[in-house]
Amino acid sequence: MARIIDGSAMNMVGGNVRKLRLERGMSQQALSNKLETLAIYICRGSISRIEDGQRTVTDIELYGLAKVLGVSITSLFELKDEDSE
């Protein structure tokens, strides 16, 4: 069966998570701390790996990321990361 994501990336939202986090002036640690208030535990290092596409994101984590960043879940997929390499 073909993979949904081409290449070695483990998720489709990491670049947009990084872009939104930076637009809000949040550090990776601050994002981790806010997620913890929703009982979603993603350490700072895992936030980094998500943003780099090196870690998968569960549905609950996706929900929490969208909620903390103040966007819809679908917008995490739709935003264009113009700063991508």
Write out pLDDT tens, residues 17-57: 999 999 999 999 999 999 999 999 999 999 999 999 999 99
pTM here is 0.84
What is the distance between the alpha carbons of residues 40 and 80, in angstroms, rounded to a whole number?
26
Check pLDDT > 80 for residue 71: yes
Burial class (CB in 10 A: 0-12, 13-18, 19+), 70: exposed
DSSP assignment of 53-80:
T-S---HHHHHHHHHHHTS-HHHHHH--
